[in-house]
Structures are given as C-alpha cells and as structure tokens.
Amino acid sequence: MMECTTGLTDDEFDGLLAWLREEGVEGYPPILGLSGSLRATLMYLRQNIVQAVIGEILGVSQPTVSRAIKALTEAISRTLAVLLLTAEEVPEDCDCRGGRHPLPLPGLARPP
C-alpha cells in the first residue's frame, strides 16, 4: 500500500504504471525500474520529500532519484500537454474557478 506516500491506491498506481509502459518511457534508472522510478517521482511530487530521503527509503542514491524524477516528470508533462486545455481553449460559459470549492459557499458570504 502506497497511498500515503504516492497519493494513489495500488490499483491507480498499477494503472498509471501500465500507461507509462505503453508510452515507452525511457531514461529512468535501471536500478529502480519503471515502477520504482514512478514511486520516487510520485513521492517527490506529492510529499515534496527531499530526494536524499527518498533515496534512503528506496535504497538508492540521491542522483538516482533525481534521474528518475526527471524522466518520469517529463513523460507525464508531455502527455498532459496534449490533454489539458489552455486558458484560451476553455469555453466562455465554463465556470472554471480553481480551488477546493469552485462555487461560493453561502455561509461564508455573510456580512461581518
């Protein structure tokens, strides 16, 4: 179970791993393999853990973790660039306010 460190359930992790295999990701350290490289990357992105600490957890050096993060982040970014809309591409009638609560909460709109 990696949900606490990666933010993904085991099934979600396996699905993402399968997708990355299909994409033919290259450049990750052989000692970690694709699975370990994905785990290191998600730990880094999700928890902002220092790379040296991730290395200790996974039993590899900080430079190895750095190479894994670089390879997987680039692969994920390339794919997201195709999937995500730019601000100009968002329909005008779309309410795309960010944040956890996209619509105003009535209880917070009361005057002081």
- Domain ranges (residues) in the chain: 3-84
Residues of the chain whose pLDDT is less than 50?
A: 101-102, 105
Interval 65-96: pLDDT, tens: 999 999 999 988 887 777 777 777 777 777 65
SS3 for 58?
Answer: helix
Chain CA centroid to CA 76, Å: 8
Output the pTM of the full model.
0.73
Q: Which residues, including other chains, have CB under 8 Å from residue 2's CB and lie 6 or more apart?
A: 8, 10, 13, 39, 42
On whether the CB atoms of residues 59 and 44 are closer than 8 A, the answer is: no
In this structure, the chain runs to a length of 112
On whether the CB atoms of residues 7 and 46 are closer than 8 A, the answer is: yes
